[in-house]
A and B are shown apart, each in its own frame.
Chain A
Amino acid sequence: MKTSGWIFLILSWAFIIGLMIASFAIVLRKK
């Protein structure tokens, strides 16, 4: 895999995991 492929993979995963953690963290806090 090219470096650019790794960059896309890492950025995409980071965006999604970040969004998921952030949204569920607030959901749990507001429970």
Chain B
Amino acid sequence: MNQSHPKPREQWGTRFGLIMAMAANAVGIGNFLRFPVQCANNGGGAFMIPYFVAFILLGIPLLWIEWGIGRFGGKYGHGTTPGMFHYLWKHPLAKYVGAIGLMIPFALVIYYNYIVSWTLAFSVFSFTGKYSSIMSFQGMADFLAAYQGKVSNNYFPSIATAFLFFCITHFFMMWIVSHGVSKGIERLAKIAMPFIIVFGIILVVRVLFLGTPDPKFPANNIVNGLGFIWNPDFSMLRQSNVWLAATGQIFFTLSVGFGAIHTYASYMKPKDDVVLSGLATGATNEFCEVILGGSIAIPVTVAFFGLAQTQAIAAGGAFDLGFFAMPIIFQKMAFGNVFGTIWFFLLFLAGITSSVSMAQPMMSFLQEEFKMTRKTAAWILGTLTFFFTLPVIFFLKYGFLNELDFWIGTFALVVFAIIEVILFIWVFGEANAWKEINAGADIRLPKFVLPVLKYVTLAYLAILMVFWVLQNGWDVVTMRGVLPADSPYIWFARFMLIGIGVCMVFLVRIAWQKRHIIQQRIPE
């Protein structure tokens, strides 16, 4: 028996577990904070038109493509895109292009998991009443700034508390992935997803029954809050920004372009269904985003702060809404501590299940390409991500995290999605791709989906890319508006990303040099 013959790979325990894990990967903090802010800022109900257009023409097709690539790679014992691309495009460069699919989730997890740790901390603070005396927006802003170590005040003299919560969150994430796909990730998803949905429903019901919290201000009520999100402003549809915002939101919310779906899908059996499971995952994510996410934060903010202030809060972004406005609102509600704890713990569950999915590609790579045990891979990955997160924690006030987020969370995702569509549909071939997606499918895809995958999705991505570069790219590249004092940290963030990218390429090279026997064939 050849020593280098690939060992049997892990597999999902059940189909339901796979769908829950995929949905938990997609459902993140953004479903509850980013979506309502984007919706409120971009035309309200009218935003849902470009949003659903993007969901159908971009989101669902990309889900099928990524699931298809992932399951295809899994057949050859590869859980990450270097190995997958190697079989899609029989070219020496393919595996190095695939290194982008390692770099993205690795870079994402080093800053995303820190944000997740804030939600855990705020859940505990809400439970213990740590911020119960703060009743002003500025007071909560000062509280969060001190927690993050941006300033020192009575709330937090140092960043130690934030660091402690990060360590807890980080350890928990690595503990989950160290237990493997079925016993770690799947088990977490099966517990977390029902809790996310139940907590979300509890909060929605509570919000919808708030009515008019202060009779002195009758206009500040829940129905007007829903109106703030849903009343359509059709004039906004003429603005390209709105279409871009909706497309971007679909991209982030479905977690496409991350490299994580590929890894999860690689643990499927070769004839497991991709089409229906992908659709069920997308629908579950939309339920959490539009129905739960759209009915909590913004309506309750309008009910307590009024339309004008909610507009200002929404313009300030998702964190202003989630970490400044929501805690104050909970203080004003009966059993506010309980609802505050539920709110932040819901965000924590949504976040940690996504963090785990971002950590898994590198775990898979180390285990499969370097033949490491799961425990060794977890220790190495845990140590690396821990040290890479340190600059994110300590240089937060200099815009370090925002810089990483632009290049990875915005730019790299779209680039990677374009590459995977080209490789899967155009290089691997539309007939092969179609066959791959439909293999074992529980529902038959209509033929018109193929030209959508081939032309429309790709064109959509290309347009998105061009507009983003034109609108934001140059300003970010030239660091317009960056304070001179922050500039070295921004450059540090960029060099760190380049360093991560180079390391990934180097690791792929070593892995291929030492690599095990790989079957040099492409399925008929």
Residues of A bordering B, CB below 8 Å? 1-2, 4-9, 12-13, 15-17, 19-20, 23-24, 26-27, 30-31
User: Smallest CB–CB gap between B464 and chain A, Å?
Assistant: 22
A20 interface neighbour in B44, B45, B231, B280, Cβ under 8 Å: B280
CB pair B291–A5 under 8 Å, yes or no, is no
Contact of B231 among A5, A12, A19, A24 (CB under 8 A): A5
Residues of A within 8 A of B283 (CB): 16, 19-20, 23-24
Q: Is B81 an interface residue (CB 8 A)?
A: no
A12 touches B48 (CB 8 A): yes
Contact partner of B280 among A6, A13, A16, A24, CB < 8 A?
A24
- Provided the pairs A15-B52, A23-B276, A27-B277 are in contact, do residues A5 and B290 lie with their beta carbons within 8 angstroms? no
A4, A7, A19, A31: the one contacting B279 at CB < 8 Å is A19
* Partner-contacting stretch, out of B94-102, B162-170, B222-230, B253-261: B222-230
Given contacts A12-B48, A23-B279, A27-B276, is CB(A2)–CB(B286) below 8 Å? no
**Smallest CB separation, A10 vs chain B (Å):** 9
B232 and A1 form a contact (CB under 8 A): no
Contacts of A5 in B (CB 8 A): 44-45, 226-227, 230-232
Alpha-carbon distance A16/B224, docked complex (angstroms): 23
In the complex, what residues of B have CB within 8 A of residue A16's CB?
Answer: 283, 286-287, 290-291
B19 partner residues in chain A, CB cutoff 8 A: 27
Asked whether B284 is an interface residue with its Cβ less than 8 Å from the other chain, the reply is: yes
For residue B273, CB closer than 8 A to chain A, the reply is: yes
- The residue that B224 contacts in the complex, of A1, A8, A17, with Cβ under 8 A, is A1
Tell me which of B273, B284, B290 contacts A12 (CB under 8 A): B290
Interface size on B, residues (CB 8 A): 29
What are the 6 A-B residue pairs with the smallest beta carbon separation, nearest first?
A8-B45, A1-B227, A5-B231, A23-B280, A5-B230, A20-B283
Chain A residue contacts of B214, Cβ below 8 A: none
B15 / chain A contacts, CB cutoff of 8 Å: 27, 31
The answer to whether B443 has its CB under 8 Å from any CB of chain A is: yes
User: Does B442 touch A at the CB level, under 8 Å?
Assistant: yes
Query: With a CB–CB cut-off of 8 A, which chain B residues contact A12?
Result: 45, 48, 52, 290
Give bound CA distance, A5 to B226, whole Å.
8
Chain A contact residues: helix, strand, loop or mixed: helix
B interface residues (Cβ-Cβ under 8 A, vs A) = 15-16, 19, 44-46, 48, 52, 223-224, 226-227, 230-232, 273, 276-277, 279-280, 282-284, 286-287, 290-291, 442-443
- Asked if B230 and A13 sit within 8 Å, CB to CB, the answer is no
* Chain A contacts for B224, CB-based, 8 A: 1
Q: With A1-B226, A5-B230, A19-B283 in contact, is A30–B44 under 8 Å at CB?
A: no
Q: How far is the CB of B489 from chain A (nearest CB, A)?
A: 41
Contacts of B52 in A (CB 8 A): 12, 15
**Chain A residues whose C-beta falls within 8 Å of the C-beta of B231 in the assembled complex:** 1-2, 4-5
CB contacts (< 8 Å) of A13 on chain B: these are: 290-291
Contact, CB under 8 Å: A17 / B45:
no
Closest A residue to B48 by beta carbon equals A12
CA distance A5 to B299 in the complex (A): 13
Q: Is A30 within 8 A of B442, CB to CB?
A: yes
* Whole-angstrom CA separation of A9 from B48 in the bound complex: 9
CB <8 Å contact, A27 and B286 = no
